[in-house]
Each structure stands twice: as structure tokens, then as C-alpha cells.
Structure 1
Amino acid sequence: MARINPHINFNGNAEEAFTFYKSVFGGKFAKIIRFKDLASAEFKVAEKEENKIMHIALTIGKTDMLMGNDVPEIFGKTNENENRSKIVITAESKEEADNLFNGLSVGGEIEGPIGDSPWGSYFGCFRDKYGIEWMVDFDPKNNG
């Protein structure tokens, strides 16, 4: 069965926020990826954004995870008083990821088609027909 975890967008202060959350919840960082970690000829990263957080995950309890990232400036500023969070579904298989992505996105707007990501998982994101933002992820390294 898929797991669901929250994901929060930040305007450049994700690391500060997650350090704070860790001080409150405890736990440990399961993953920290900076934009510079993914930089390549195909994925250019502005120098001022190299050290910003592309993905951070804090384990909370035995199975829960709080995730987040800094939104690159080219995408504009995240409205901190509106919907700046996403629901992340961690699937147990590619098939489950496809089924959830295809089912939940009907009538919505695909932001990133599901497929292999530069960070090694099978990933896609969309806003459903009710305006809720979702990310679907399958990582064979964590589910194999």
C-alpha cells in the first residue's frame, strides 16, 4: 500500500526550516539533495541557487516523512499564505505509481509527467481537478 507524506515549498530557506523541524520532531535527515548535486549540461543551475535545497526529507517516527524544497527563482516566489504544500505518495511499485498518477490526475493539470527522474526515482507531479497538488514517487532503491 502506498504511503502519503507532506511536502512543503520554500523561498530559499528550506534548510533553515528543516533544521528547526528536526529540533522539534527529532529524527534524522533521510536525504538532502542540493541543486548543484544535479547540475549537468542538460540541467543548468544558477550559481546563486547551487546550495539551495532541491529535496530534503526528515524522518518522523517509524514511517512518516516530512519533505520539502526551495523553489528556484525562475519559477517565481511561492505564496506563503496559500497552497505551498503538496501531498507526496510513495508507491511500492512502478505500476502502483502509474495507477495512482493516472487516476488522481484525471481532469487536473500535469505539472511534471511521470517518468524517470534525474535523481533516480520514478516521479511525476500534478494538480488535481480540485486544485490539490500531488507528487507520486517510486524509488526502486527503497522498495526493491
Structure 2
Amino acid sequence: MSGGAMTTEMCPYLHPRGSAREALAAYRRALGGAEPAMTTYGSLGMDDPSVRDMVANAVLRTEVGGPLMVSDLPPGADEPAGVACLFGDDEGALRAAWDVLAEGAEVFQPLEPSPWGSLFGSLRDRWGVSWLVDVDGAAGAAG
């Protein structure tokens, strides 16, 4: 092994219901980042018109802490849509992301003070992906 620096990243891999392209556009608005790198099923040699233009894999390099991988599931695939967590201490950025993710979502827990001293919220977005948002220290408990 060389003595060079190595990095390891972990990221969520989401399978939004409906359109991965549409979900990616919203996630990019919520989380920032450049246009995602995208591979279609057609580019992998699948000529079936029902899947040819679907997203086989996309990587959004977000501005809030790492990559997010997204794909459409081919017809008949039965996998969970996924769960993603956003956390940190940048309340403005996390509130802005929450607002985008909450568009058309089923909100389970509004983004509000939690018993553990942060702002916390959970929702299932309009593509079936569950999101947990936790703003560390933002509940403003005078300590």
C-alpha cells in the first residue's frame, strides 16, 4: 500500500417512487451541489422501452456533507424507498432543506424542539423516501 491519504465515504442510496430525475432535482434544491452524474438503464445496454430512460444510478455531491446516490427501480422491483438523515448545526441550511423536502410530503414530526435539545423533524417525501432532520443545539436551551 502506498503512503497516500485514503478516504472512505458512506452515503444513503435512495430509490424514490415515481421519477428519480424529479426527486434528484428537489434534493439538489434542498441540499445543493452540481448537476448529478447519471447513468440510465439504456446506457447499460437495456433496450426495453419501459426502463431505457430510467435512472440506473445517479450521484449528487451535496453541499451539506457528502454524496447522495439515487436510482429508479425497474418495474417489479420491490425495495424500500430509503431513509436519509440530515444533521448538523447550520440551522438556516437545514431549515431550508426541510422546507424543500416537505413540499408534498407526509410530515410525521414537524421540525420543532425535541426532548434531547435539538430541532428535530421527520417526514416521508412525495417519492416515498423518509427523511430525519436534526439541528444540533438549535432548540436554544439556555445551558
Under a length normalisation based on structure 1, what TM-score does the superposition of the two structures give?
A: 0.47
Normalized per residue, the structure richer in strand is 1
- Greater Cα radius of gyration, structure 1 or 2: 2
Under a length normalisation based on structure 2, what TM-score does the superposition of the two structures give?
A: 0.47
